Chains A and B, each alone.
Chain A
Amino acid sequence: AQTVTQSQPEMSVQEAETVTLSCTYDTSESDYYLFWYKQPPSRQMILVIRQEAYKQQNATENRFSVNFQKAAKSFSLKISDSQLGDAAMYFCAYRSLYNTDKLIFGTGTRLQVFP
């Protein structure tokens, strides 16, 4: 069974600085999808960025980018030019290409942004 691990329960960053959130996963599959979701205090789960495992190029969405290391089964999220509105819980998630129904989440990382 696949698992997703986020080893950083909490992280903090100063406004305008860069922060990287870590995520590792375990799978025997070769094709899959990876996601980062943001959950602000409003508790709405918001999709931040996605990565298809068959793509070597790292996904980028404005200030958010990932470092996808397939061999190491690592999928970190980099937030550049951090803003106060980035403060939230961030969840890494895995979705199989073959059994595409379930989204498996990590335990989350709480990000604080200081002015």
Chain B
Amino acid sequence: DAGVIQSPRHEVTEMGQEVTLRCKPISGHDYLFWYRQTMMRGLELLIYFNNNVPIDDSGMPEDRFSAKMPNASFSTLKIQPSEPRDSAVYFCASSLTSTGVDGYTFGSGTRLTVV
């Protein structure tokens, strides 16, 4: 398996523009998570899905952020409009089991810079 695949690896955009981050989880994994990593706040869970259904989006910072999972093999995180404070590394992770023992498998992250 190729692991969790995220695209793009880097994204530079201007303030006010729409940004879409993409994630392909490991085949068969039924949980998908979106995390944001910054120096100030560390790793923050934004939202997660189980069987394509959003379970907890309490970590989504504002209405400017939205996430979808239209099928088991694809998810997007969208920011519209983007702001400089959204600059961070965004990770997608997936998990096979709900028993917790396996932890997560992470993608390589998308480094977002909003100028």
Contact = CB atoms under 8 A, between A and B. Distances in A.
A96 B99 CA distance: 9
A45 B6 CA distance: 13
Contact of B103 (A32, A103, A108): A103
Interface residues of A, number: 25
A43 B88 CA distance: 12
A91 B43 contact: yes
Contact of A101 (B31, B101, B103): B31
B45 A102 contact: yes
By size class, the interface of chain B is 20 to 34
A50 B89 contact: no
Main secondary structure of the interface of B (DSSP, over half): strand
Interface in A30-89: 32-33, 35, 37, 42-47, 50, 52
A106 to B, nearest CB: 8
A42 B101 contact: no
A46 B109 CA distance: 12
Interface of A: 32-33, 35, 37, 42-47, 50, 52, 91, 93, 95-97, 100-103, 105-108
